[in-house]
A and B are shown apart, each in its own frame.
Chain A
């Protein structure tokens, strides 16, 4: 069906396809991304008001310094583990609060995804595909290590920019 329409060069249909995709984008953005971003902004505000954010910054400072990141970056990784949207939201809100720089965000970016929402994807990916459950913990551990290594790779790439 699709083939003959393209061969005929129907312009209107291409626009229809764009609109259809954009509509799906609206649905994802409003039902998925926005609630996650709000959750992350509220979380950061709560951490800020209670003073816990400063404590996280101090406690994780020495660890995150391994990647040349401030301690607060640990909050991004923890939030990512639960939800990628949350991790991205925390990163954006820490940037707004001037706790993270653009370079810090760049270093964190691959890790936000490589160790992102692993709990959720355990069910959605490993569970649905029926991976032997005795390997799940191994896979998760490798994913976290891999994400931490990816931050060094990103840091190395930054040297060229």
Chain B
């Protein structure tokens, strides 16, 4: 990564930091019950509620007592706003350079936490959002000599469980957010730690085998 030199690039990076912090806060669910103004910076509050069709009914148009494909269809329809909101926000964060900043933060710690070189930082950030892009980039890293086959195996075992955590969580798990009894970020954190656990078990196994 070349260091930013011009004024424009510095300004750009500041926006990236702001976007990244806001993104983490919005997606964390920490401000769901915050007072007043701060409630706006929360995914659950931004996605809002459906109106009630009749007074005293539950919000939404799903009705009650539906079954099978028809109930599944209406249920899936109710999820679409959340998915659209999530991907809209991620696109804005990416555009403002938030992901670039995340990459800079993560690159120096890749060696200790995964045993792979910092040059894989961009791929790791990509792997948060798209497993297909990341898998192709990983192979390219090996072909270009940035990582060896052992490091590729370890890195891919990080990418493998759960696929891209951010996009999968906020497009698929969004269906279960209303039922969660903890802030929405906690299961995601457990998931990401789980990915590191799998990769490090593989890393340990490979290191033992090659010694």
Contacts and interface: CB of A to CB of B under 8 A. Distances in A.
A91 B75 CA distance: 13
A48 to B, nearest CB: 8
Contacts of B156: 125-126, 129, 131
Q: How large is the interface on A (under 10, 10 to 19, 20 to 34, 35 or more residues)?
A: 35 or more
Contact of A113 (B15, B71, B169): B169
Contacts of B44: none
Contact of B76 (A13, A18, A33, A112): A33
A59 interface: no
Contact of A92 (B135, B159, B175, B187): B175
B149 interface: yes
Chain B interface category by residue count? 35 or more
B180 A40 contact: no
Given A92-B176, A135-B202, A18 B79 contact: no
B198 A142 contact: yes
A12 interface: no
Interface in B160-211: 160-163, 165, 168-169, 171-173, 175-176, 179-182, 186-187, 190-191, 193-195, 197-198, 201-202, 205
B20 interface: no
Interface of B: 8-9, 11-12, 15, 67-69, 71-73, 75-77, 79-80, 83-92, 94-97, 131-132, 134-136, 138-139, 142, 149, 152-153, 155-157, 159-163, 165, 168-169, 171-173, 175-176, 179-182, 186-187, 190-191, 193-195, 197-198, 201-202, 205
24 contacts: A20-B88, A21-B87, A25-B84, A25-B171, A37-B75, A38-B72, A41-B75, A84-B172, A92-B75, A95-B176, A110-B190, A118-B160, A125-B135, A126-B160, A127-B135, A128-B139, A129-B152, A129-B159, A130-B139, A130-B142, A131-B153, A142-B157, A143-B160, A146-B201
